[in-house]
């Protein structure tokens, strides 16, 4: 008999099992593939979400921010490569600017660090 049974050893299942292993629990992870992260996790985009696009004040916004903050320490502890290479949201016309500013303000309200709006010249210099 297990205290917790986790279905799937992808990123979410494996991370859940790791976190739960810190407690006095009997845990079973059930995976249909031959190894961890062989399904959807293997083909994901590898983006660690910042929380910029989450509705302010929601649990999702809080968890995106906290999960993002944890990645540097976790990559050192578990010895995997992790780079903070940033993200660029591009406007193709002036009509896109209100939505960009909305995302920027939402990100600031959510506590996302390092946000800035660049003009075309600044973006090209990157």
Task: Please provide the distance, in angstroms rounded to a whole number, between the alpha carbons at the two ends of the chain.
Answer: 55
Q: Mind spelling out the 3-state secondary structure of the chain?
A: CCCEEEECCCHHHHHHHHHHCCCCCCEEEECCCCCCCCCHHHHCCCCCCCCCCCCCCCHHHHHHHHHHHHHHHHHHHHCCCCCCCCCCCCCCCHHHHHHHHHHHHHHHHHCCCCCCCCCHHHHHHC
Query: Which member of 15, 20, 49, 53 is catalytic?
Result: 49
CB neighbourhood size of 65 (10 A): 20
Q: Is 49 a catalytic residue?
A: yes
| Residues forming the active site | 49
């Amino acid at each position: 008999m297990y205290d917790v049974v986790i279905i799937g050893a992808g990123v979410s299942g494996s991370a859940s099992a790791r976190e739960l292993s810190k407690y006095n629990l009997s845990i079973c992870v059930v995976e249909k593939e031959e190894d961890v992260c062989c399904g959807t996790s293997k083909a994901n985009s590898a983006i660690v979400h910042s929380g910029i696009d989450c509705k302010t004040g929601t649990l999702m916004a809080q968890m995106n921010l906290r999960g993002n903050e944890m990645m540097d320490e976790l990559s050192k502890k578990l010895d995997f490569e992790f780079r903070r290479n940033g993200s660029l949201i591009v406007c193709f016309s002036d009509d896109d600017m209100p939505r960009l500013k909305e995302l920027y303000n939402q990100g600031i309200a959510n506590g996302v660090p390092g946000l800035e709006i660049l003009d075309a010249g600044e973006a090209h210099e990157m």
